[in-house]
Chain A
Amino acid sequence: MENLVYIALFAPFVGSMFAALFGMSPKQTFVGIIASSLLFISFAASAVLAFHVYTTGTAIHVTMMEWISAGDLMIPFGFLVDQVSVTMMTVVTLVSTVVHIYSIGYMDHDKSFNRFFSYLSAFVFSMMILVMSDNFAGLFIGWEGVGVCSWLLIGFWYHKEDVAREKNPSISPSWAANEAFIVNRIAGLGMLIGIFIIYWNVGSLQYDVVFADLPNLSSSVLNAAALALFIGAMGKSAQFPLHTWLTDAMEGPTPVSALIHAATMVTAGVFLIIRANPIFSMTPEVSFFIAALGTFVAFFAASMALVNRDLKRIIAFSTLSQLGYMFAAAGLGAYWIALFHLAAHAFFKALLFLGAGNVMHAMDDELDIFKMGGLKKAMNWTYIYMGVASLALAGIPIFAGFFSKDAIIETAFNEGTYVLWAILVLTAGMTAFYSFRQVFLTFHGAKRYKDEIHPHEMYKFVLIAMAPLAILAVIAGFFMGGFQTFVTKLLPNYEMSHHTHELIVVLTAVVLVFAVGGIWLAYKKYANGLKRDEKLENSFLYKLLANQYYIPQFYEEFITKPYAMISEKMWKDIDMKIVDATVDGIAKFLYKSGDKARAMQTGNLSNYLNWMAVGGVLLLIVAAISAMLA
């Protein structure tokens, strides 16, 4: 079993290194195939491990080597495969495998084909370290590793020009990559502080040691640690107010959006909360804050998705919204439900993104859903896939999203937090509306795209590769019961109270009414083509939502620009006039004094002797003074 752990972990690494060998050379299809097969091996190993953990119920704990050993600090490279991490491993490697195969088709015409696979596999490797590590230090390494890979992949088309925000709401990939990286740096600091607090008070970073020692800690320490860790989670999972980078990250290639910015990396924050659940269950205030913020983000992001016209950004907003749901569940103590929604969401959201990639591919990279329409005929399979994924996202019965999202909404009811419950129900309706608005605008109605575009379906093997995700998006919900017994061996169990049980039919019906209502509204408005409503589009609320509550502009005006101004001032006034001037002054002094002292070298021995005498007298004076002082 130990070997399987290493295979699961290092197969993506080998794939990355192999692809990197060909990084500078033109497209080689076998690079993609080998990277994908290694990913599949990793998936197979993860699946076997999952089966092993499921049947035996015991975790596998391996220590590869000692990493840092200094004084009392002992950090090994250790890996823990238990119910939580094996779930994440399976989900990550499964989605990654599909995305890798998809990328062979999607990146077909890209001249940096090999480089792309190198980055993508490196990302999976980092993600595996993140989920498998048995200590906070390893988690942090993976955490930063996925951040770097995310930066590399968002900025994959770094050569694209930067366009001013006024001209084009989308921005250049390199700008988006930097934004994502910098925002995550801010959050990473919070995370690091959390880890330091834990080490300072416990003296170890191993999960088991830390969690065993929690009862000895004061509540203020626990609160500080939980809050600091959650700030880290907020950055990675793009929670308000650190959410702007996620939609801008859509500048990267679509497989990247599917894998990193929907299915895996952004869920790392949720994973952290679930992994560190002993800490969070002991800090009810912080947990409630997490739940409240998650609910807020769920609603807030869904509201922006209602009016957005960019295909990928709509899905990005829905990712944000679903992450909010997960945080709401985790914050309310229903860790296993959060994990279940995480897994289910990974399947249907990756599918949705890959479908969007197909559409983009067919439409020559057009992303405006107002300029699409009528693609149903040309892209039947993509239509089915995106329809299935949207049904799952909207939470229609039998689809995966229904079970997981409904459980979260019930949790909010069960906890007696009726405000959160009401917002989450409303958000479910909005989710249904915007997902089907997008589907209808893209696939139904008359065509609105230019005549020179000839939409075509994606390659066959790509469509086949997407099938597992589609199947899982449909059936994943049926495994909910089994999943519960599986992960609650490790996570605290969460059961609905008797009272909630009695009302369950009503509760489900309410959510369903909202979901179906949302779809029906979208159908009525958009199924027969786009009828633009000038009055609505010019209304204040519409503009507010379309401009993302002016938050990007706000950040630009009140953070980016002042920061640039301060930096400029610092550079010109402090750096140039003080720091540089000091250094230059020393150099100039030496240079000038040398220039002056050169005059001594007359070549006349008599003068030299005079200087020698002066030196001798000076030495004498120094000796006399030091003798006097002594």
Chain B
Amino acid sequence: MIGLSHYLIVSALIFSIGLIGVLRRRNLLMLFFATEVMLNAVNIAFAAISHYYNDLTGQMFAFFIIAIAASEVAVGLGLLIVLYKKYGTLNLDDFASMKG
């Protein structure tokens, strides 16, 4: 029987994968992917907990997150294209212009 904890473990694993991606990757596009992975990990947790409590609010929330993530990706990819056109690269190490 697959219970709530299985879902949450999967969610946590996926979240960790996303987090490691955010921390380790240098390419901005890859960072975007990693963020999407983390968002979906959260969505899994929402859906699972919502089912566990028999409360639809969590699933509704997951839908919202999907919608917002989609629009965010649309805007973000647009920005990335502009950035690529300007610098010819998406490597983060080349953008260190805010050095303190």
Number of interface residues of B (CB under 8 A): 14
Q: Which residues of A contact B99 (CB under 8 A)?
A: 601-603
The answer on a CB contact under 8 Å between A605 and B92 is yes
User: Mostly helix, strand, loop or mixed at chain A's interface?
Assistant: helix
Is the CB–CB distance between B96 and A609 below 8 Å? no
Residues in A whose Cβ lies below 8 Å from that of B19: 613
Tell me whether A600 and B22 are in contact in the complex, defined as CB-CB below 8 angstroms, given that A605-B92, A606-B92, A606-B93 are known contacts.
Answer: no
In residues 596-630 of chain A, which contact B (Cβ within 8 Å)? 598, 600-606, 609-610, 613
Q: A610-B23, A613-B19, A613-B22 are in contact. Are A601 and B100 (CB under 8 A)?
A: yes
Q: In B49-100, which residues have CB < 8 Å from any A CB?
A: 92-93, 95-100
The residue on A at minimum CB distance from B91 is A606
Q: Are A604 and B100 in contact (CB under 8 A)?
A: no
CB of B98 within 8 A of CB of A603, answer yes
Beta-carbon contact of B23 and A603 below 8 Å: no
Q: Looking across the interface, which residue of chain A has its beta carbon closest to that of B100?
A: A601
Counting CB contacts under 8 A, is B26 at the interface? Answer: yes
Judge whether B100 and A603 touch: CB under 8 Å: yes
- A605 and B96 CA atoms in complex are apart in Å by 7
By the criterion CB–CB under 8 Å, are B93 and A613 in contact? no
Which chain A residue lies CB-closest to B97? A603
Nearest Cβ on chain A to B25's Cβ, whole angstroms: 8
Q: Is the CB of B93 within 8 A of A600?
A: no
Bound together, the chains give a CA A55 to CA B22 distance in angstroms of 103
> For the complex, what is the distance from the CA of A600 to the CA of B26, rounded to whole Å?
18
Alpha-carbon gap, A604 to B19, bound state (A): 17
* Of A600, A604, A610, most B-chain CB atoms within 10 Å: A604
Contact B23–A604 (Cβ < 8 Å) = no
Residues of B within 8 A of A598 (CB): 100
CB-CB nearest in chain A for B99 = A603
Which chain B residues (1-39) contact chain A, with CB distance < 8 Å? 19, 22-23, 25-26, 31
The digit string for A579-602, where 1 denotes a CB below 8 A from any CB of B, is 000000000000000000010111
Q: Which A residue sits closest to B93, measured CB to CB?
A: A604
Q: Is the CB of B98 within 8 A of A609?
A: no
Q: Which residues of B contact A610 (CB under 8 A)?
A: 23
The closest CB in chain B to the CB of A605 belongs to: B92
A605 to B31, CA, bound (A): 11
- In the bound complex, what is the Cα–Cα distance between A603 and B100 (angstroms)? 7
Which residues 546-592 in A have Cβ within 8 Å of B in the complex? none
Residues of chain B within 8 A of A613, CB atoms compared: 19, 22-23
Q: Do residues A605 and B95 form an inter-chain contact, with CB atoms below 8 A?
A: yes
Give Cα distance in the complex from A262 to B82, angstroms. Answer: 95
B100 touches which of A600, A605, A606 (Cβ 8 Å): A600
Question: Which residue on A lies nearest to B26, using beta carbons?
Answer: A606
A603 to B97 CA separation, bound complex (whole angstroms): 6
Known contacts A609-B22, A610-B23, then 16 further A-B pairs from the complex at CB < 8 Å, ordered by chain A residue: A598-B100, A600-B100, A601-B100, A603-B96, A603-B98, A604-B96, A605-B92, A605-B95, A606-B23, A606-B25, A606-B26, A606-B92, A609-B23, A609-B31, A613-B22, A613-B23
Between A and B, 20 residue pairs with Cβ closer than 8 Å are: A598-B100, A600-B100, A601-B98, A601-B99, A602-B96, A602-B99, A603-B96, A603-B97, A603-B98, A604-B92, A604-B95, A605-B92, A605-B95, A606-B23, A606-B25, A606-B92, A609-B22, A609-B23, A613-B19, A613-B22
